[in-house]
Structure 1
Amino acid sequence: MAQSLKITLVHSAVASVKKDQTATCRALGLRKIGDVVEQPDNPSIRGMIFKVKHLVDVEEN
């Protein structure tokens, strides 16, 4: 069974954040505070999470 990551947006990705970080949140599927998505655990997703680590909470499933 492949691992997945549960990603929750906990801080606004609009105000006082760089545009590329906002775009990264959108690419992960996060639009509003409180949105939760499940993504596969792979290096590209991990890199995206690292870029916006100050905006999200991550749980391994």
Structure 2
Amino acid sequence: MNEFEHLTDQNVLRLYDAIRHQVDADKALGNRYRLIGQAAMDRAERLKDEIVSRGLKFSPIVWT
């Protein structure tokens, strides 16, 4: 069972965008503080896979 299959397309995209905002916050802090850890990166990857499997349009997160 897919952990995101019960979510709507909009909710999957919203979760992915929430991680993107955290990455942007890290960048704004000059990477002095780490808001994003490996668990969030792993979750973003699983969300990205789900988004691709649903054929949704999105912009990938730029991690660096």
TM-score where L is the length of structure 2: 0.38
> Relative CO higher for 1 or 2, CA cutoff 8 Å, sep ≥ 6?
1
Give 1 or 2: higher strand fraction. Answer: 1
What's the TM-score, normalizing by structure 1?
0.39
